[in-house]
Amino acid sequence: MHQTSSNRLHPKVETMALIVIGFLYAAYFVLRYGGLWAENDTAVFTQVTRSMLQAKSVLFAGQYTHGFGYPTWLGTLSLLTGLNVSVMNTIIMPFIGVILLLVTAFVAYHTFLKSSRLAMLSVLLLFAVPDLMFTVLRGNHEKLNIALMLMALVALFRSFEVVYEGNWRAATAWIMLFYTFAFINATVNDYFASTFAVASTITLIAGAFLINRNVPAAARYRGQIVRLTSYVGATWLLVWWVMLYVFPPAGHDFQLLHGAITKITNLFLTLHTSSNPYSAPASQWSGYVAQFLVASFRWVLFLLSLLVWVQEIWRLVIKKQQHRTLEHLFLLSLYGAFGFLVAIAIPMDFTGMNAGTNLEVRNFPYFALMASPLLVWGLAQGYRRLSLVSRRKFAAITGGLLSLFILIGLFKSTLDPAISNQWMFYTPAEKESLTAFDRHSIDATLWSGPDNRLVYANAMLSSSTGTSSQVTGYHYASSDKDILISPEVIENSMVQHKNIPPYQQRNCIYDNGQAQIYRTVPQTLFQNGLPPQ
Amino acid sequence: MGRMFYKMAAASLLTSLAILSIQHPVDASQTPGIRVSYIGLQDVPFRSLAEGTAGSGEIFYYVKHNTQPSLAVKLKNLGRVSNAYAYVYEAPPGHTTIPLKRDGNQLLLPSTLKPSLVITAQGGYWVRHGIPNYNLSVKVFGPIYALWEGGLPTNKVIHPGPLKNVGSHELLATIQTHTSASGVPLWDLRQLVPSFPGEGVYRVNYAQRESAPSSWTFAPSVSPLWPYVAFSGHFLQSTPNVLTPPIVVNWATGKITRFSEVVSVRSQANGYDFYSISPLKTGNHVINKLDFESPWGFYNLSPTPKAYPNLIIRTQHFYSNDPWSPSLLGKTLLINKPEENVRYSWADHPGNNNFDFKVDVFGFHSYTDHVAIAGGRFVVQAPSYHQYPSWVLSHQWPSTTFIDVQSGHYATTEGIYTWPAQNIGTGYWMGWTATPNLSMFRSIPQGLRGEYRVNSNHRPRLYVSPVDGRLHLLYAQGGLWNINHQYSLVERNLNQGKYINAWELVDTLKGHPHVVSQLYALPDALLYQGPHGVILDHVAYSPSAFTIMPPDSKSTWSHFVNAVSGYRTGNDPLHLSQWLNHYFGSELLGQGTIQSVLDTNTGFQFTLIPHGTAPWTNQIPGLGVVGRHPVVISYNQHTQRWSVAPLMSDPISVSKIMPNSAQANIPTTVTIPVTNHANYIASGTVKVMINGRQQSSQTAQIMPHGTDILSVPWTPTHAGTSKLVVQWNGVKLASNVLSSSVVPRTGPQKLWTDSSPSMEEALIVLLLVIVISGSGFWIWRRTL
Predicted local distance difference test score (pLDDT) of residue A268: 62
B interface test, pick of A92, A472, A526 with most B CB neighbours within 10 Å: A526
Helix (H) or strand (E) holding B314: strand B311-318
| Closest listed residue to residue B228, CA positions, set B85, B111, B99, B100 | B85
Is residue B715 classed exposed, middle or buried when 0-12, 13-18 and 19+ CB atoms within 10 A define those classes?
A: middle
Interface of B with A in 409-428 (CB under 8 A): 427-428
Give φ, ψ of B608 to 5 degrees: -110, 125
A74-91 in b/e burial notation, b at 16+ Cβ within 10 A?
bbebbeeeeebbbebbbb
Q: Are B703 and B678 in contact (CB under 8 A)?
A: no
Collect all residues of chain A within an 8 Å Cβ-Cβ radius of residue B429.
526
**Beta-carbon separation of A500 and B784 below 8 A:** no
The band of B686, judged by pLDDT with boundaries at 50, 70 and 90, is very high
Residue A265 has pLDDT above 80, yes or no: no
A-B interface: how many C-beta pairs under 8 angstroms?
Answer: 155
Residues of chain A numbered 269-288 and touching chain B (CB < 8 Å): 286
pLDDT digits (tens, 9 = 90+) for B114-169: 999 999 999 999 999 889 999 999 999 988 899 887 654 334 344 445 555 566 67
Q: Is the pLDDT of residue B540 over 60?
A: yes
Q: Indicate the pLDDT class of residue A465, thresholds 50, 70 and 90.
A: low
Q: Nearest by CB to A468, which of B334, B761, B780?
A: B334
Q: What is the mean pLDDT of residues B738-747?
A: 85
Contact B667 A501 (CB under 8 A): yes
Q: What is the pLDDT of residues B61-86, one digit of tens each?
A: 999 888 999 999 999 998 766 899 99
| Distance separating alpha carbons of residues B774 and B769, to the nearest angstrom | 8
User: What SS3 state is found at B183?
Assistant: coil
Q: What is the mean pLDDT of chain A?
A: 87
Please give the CATH topology (third level) of the domain spanning B652-741: Immunoglobulin-like (2.60.40)
Q: Is the pLDDT of residue B744 over 90?
A: no
- Which 475-514 residues of chain A touch chain B by CB within 8 A? 477-479, 481, 487-488, 490-491, 493-495, 497-505
Among residues of chain B, what percentage have pLDDT more than 90?
66
The pLDDT of A371-376, averaged and rounded, is 95
State yes or no: pLDDT of B630 exceeds 80. yes
Question: Residues B694-714: pLDDT tens digits?
Answer: 999 999 999 999 999 999 999
Angle at A510 between CA A505 and CA A515, to 5 degrees: 90
pLDDT value of position B780: 63
What does the radius of gyration of chain B's CA atoms come to, in whole angstroms?
A: 38
Contacts of B334 in chain A (CB under 8 A): 466-468
Task: Output the pLDDT for position A1.
Answer: 42
Q: Is the pLDDT of residue B774 over 90?
A: no
Across the interface, which of A36, A286, A527 has its CB nearest the CB of B745?
A286
Best of B751, B770, B777 to mutate (most A CBs within 10 Å, chain A): B751
The CA distance from B138 to B117, in Å, is: 7
- Coil, helix or strand at residue A34: coil
Q: How far is CA A97 from CA A22, A137, A232, in A?
A: 10, 6, 27
Indicate the burial class of B130 (C-beta count within 10 angstroms; 0-12, 13-18, 19 or more).
Answer: exposed
Residues B336, A478: C-beta atoms closer than 8 Å: no
**Cα(B118)–Cα(B73) distance, integer angstroms:** 10
The C-alpha atoms of residue B768 and residue B781 are separated, in whole angstroms, by 20
Residue A221 pLDDT > 90, yes or no?
Answer: no
Cβ pair B477, B454 in contact under 8 A: yes
> CB distance from A533 to chain B under 8 Å?
yes
pLDDT, position A251 = 83
Query: Contacts of residue B669 in chain A, CB cutoff 8 Å?
Result: 502, 504-505
The answer, for B68 touching chain A at a CB cutoff of 8 Å, is no
Residue A338 has pLDDT above 90, yes or no: yes
Minimum CA–CA partner of B719 in chain A? A497
Write the secondary structure of A303-365 as one string of H (helix), E (strand) and C (coil): HHHHHHHHHHHHHHHHCCCCCCCHHHHHHHHHHHHHHHHHHHHHHHHHCCCHHHCCHHHHHHH
Length of chain B: 784
Q: What is the DSSP string of B467-524?
A: TTTEEEETT--EEEEE-SSSEEEEEE-TTSSSS--EEEEEE-GGG--EEEEEEEEETT
B4-52 pLDDT per residue, tens: 444 444 444 444 333 332 322 333 344 458 999 999 887 788 999 999 9
> Is the model's pLDDT at A186 over the cut of 70?
yes
Q: Is residue B657 predicted with pLDDT exceeding 60? A: yes
CB B665 within 8 A of CB B715: yes
Nearest-Cα distance to chain A for B392, in Å, is 13
Q: Has residue A4 got a pLDDT over 50?
A: no
Asked whether the beta carbons of B412 and B345 are under 8 A apart, the reply is yes
In the prediction, which pLDDT does A9 show? 56
State phi, psi for B138 to the nearest 5 degrees. Answer: -125, 135
pLDDT band of B623, cuts 50, 70, 90: confident
Distance CA A195, CA A200 (A): 8
Exposed, middle or buried: residue A272 (CB in 10 Å: 0-12, 13-18, 19+)?
exposed
pLDDT for residue B583 is more than 80: yes
In whole angstroms, what is the distance from residue B254 CA to residue B95 CA? 8
Partners of residue B740 in chain A, C-beta under 8 Å: none
Spatial separation of the C-alpha atoms in residues A201 and A217, rounded to whole Å: 19
Is residue A78 over pLDDT 80? yes
Measured in Å, how far apart are chain B's first and last C-alpha atoms?
Answer: 117
- Model confidence at B626, pLDDT cuts 50, 70, 90, reads confident
Scan residues 410-439 of A and list those with Cβ closer than 8 Å to B: 416-419, 423, 425
pLDDT at A60: 84
A residues 459-478 lying closer than 8 A (beta carbon) to B: 466-470, 477-478
Q: Which pLDDT value is given to residue A344? A: 84
The helix (run of H) or strand (run of E) holding residue B293 is: strand B293-299
Residues above pLDDT 90, as percent of chain A: 52
- At B372 the three-state DSSP class reads strand
The answer to whether B752 contacts A494, with C-beta atoms less than 8 Å apart, is no
- What's chain A's length in residues? 533
Q: Which amino acid is at A435?
A: T
Taking residues B541-567, report their average pLDDT.
Answer: 96
Map out the domains of chain A as residue ranges. 11-413, 428-519
Q: H or E segment at B740?
A: strand B731-741
Residue B21 is predicted with a pLDDT of: 29
Letter string b/e over residues B241-262, b meaning 16 or more CB atoms within 10 A of that residue's CB: bbbbbbbbbebeebbbbbbbbb
Quote the CA–CA distance of A160 and B711 in Å, as a whole number. Answer: 79
Distance CA A133, CA B22 (A): 87
- Asked if A500's CB is within 8 angstroms of B666's CB, the reply is yes
Asked if the peptide bond before residue B295 counts as cis, ω within 30 degrees of 0, the response is yes
pLDDT of residue B659 exceeding 80: yes
Q: What is the ipTM of this complex?
A: 0.79
Give the CA radius of gyration of chain A: 25
Q: In what order do the strands lie in the sheet with B287-288?
A: B287-288, B378-381, B370-373
Average predicted confidence (pLDDT) for chain B: 88
Any idea where the domains of chain B sit in the sequence? 32-268, 271-501+543-565+577-584, 589-646, 652-741
- What's the CA gap between B337 and A314, in Å, rounded? 72
Query: Residue B447: is its pLDDT beyond 80?
Result: yes
Q: Mean pLDDT across the stretch A336-362?
A: 76
**Residue B519's beta-bridge partner residues?**
B503, B528
